[in-house]
Structure 1
């Protein structure tokens, strides 16, 4: 009986030692990674530090808090929430490329609109079955003819795909009721565009 107790005690000590070693090992790796990260960050800071004789007005100024990287700016976020409020049964997608919308129509449409690569719309509104209802742009009013032409080119490209485009202005964001009316009108226009495509 004493030998059995001794064997159980030794096994318990061995298990405790293994658990202690396993729990301690990641802590060492974390400490090493932290030290190496501090070295890298310190070296990076030293490189970013301006020379002492540089003009004070041209020195790099480090901000205390880095700017957060967001998919939507504040106006786009506000419009997104209003779109969701106005159309709770529809799906709203953000930052969709025109070429992706063309590809949804087929390879030929994508090739025809290949010049639109790199251009996108701020929002795409879809029915519950993910059929596209409208594209929505949030754009400041412009006086430059070049920018107006770019908006018209995008509008014509989307219309050729059977997708109406709605433009809202950040300084005049519509309320949920106005958005609902605009989307209802867009559904009528989409049906008309689809009939023309047939």
Structure 2
């Protein structure tokens, strides 16, 4: 049988072991996180956003706009073609009409030209002007291209 000092030593040993487990493997004792924050736009897109604001102070500039905010269809099957797609920027006039949709292609778009063309075609069929850039254009280029 255990005497009192052995029982106390055993309890202290169990508590120390549990504490060590908690310190070494905290993920075993906490609920796993399902959702994580992420940046709304990349650093590259942030520079473009700033450039668009400078070029068009009279317009509203929206970033990361869902296609579903721009186009729709009555058929669910067709909506599935665009329901998870997002465009980089949308320029709106003072009456909140779309002036242009701007896509900024970074090197990750290499090899995705067909997919990009299909995305552009959807927006163009809905009546939008889509402009693609592979670099951040100057303010004068933006003004020339959009106005």
TM norm. shorter chain > 0.5 = yes
Instruction: Give the whole-Å Cα distance in 2 for the aligned partners of 1:178 and 1:114.
Output: 35
Which structure shows the higher helix fraction?
Answer: 1
Tell me what 2:145 maps to: 182
Mapping of residues 43-192 of structure 1, within 5 Å? 43=22, 46-47=24-25, 69-103=38-72, 108=74, 112-140=78-106, 142-144=109-111, 147-169=112-134, 172-184=135-147
Q: C-alpha offsets along residues 124-145 of structure 1, whole Å, 9 cap, x if unaligned?
A: 110011001111111135552x
Instruction: Give the whole-Å Cα distance in 1 for the aligned partners of 2:75 and 2:126.
Output: 8
CA-CA distance at 1:70 after TM superposition: 2.1
Mapping of residues 1-80 of structure 1, within 5 Å? 43=22, 46-47=24-25, 69-80=38-49
RMSD between aligned alpha carbons?
Answer: 2.5
CA-CA distance at 1:100 after TM superposition: 1.7
TM-score under structure 2 normalisation?
Answer: 0.69
Instruction: Give the whole-Å Cα distance in 2 for the aligned partners of 1:110 and 1:159.
Output: 20
Which has the greater radius of gyration? 1
The answer to whether the 8 A contact 1:135-1:164 is kept is: yes
Corresponding residue SS for 1:72: coil
Runs of 4+ displaced beyond 6 Å:
none
Q: Which runs of 5+ in 2 are unaligned?
A: 1-20, 28-36
CA-CA distance at 1:165 after TM superposition: 0.8
Question: Which structure would you say has the larger RCO, counting Cα contacts within 8 Å and 6 or more residues apart?
Answer: 2
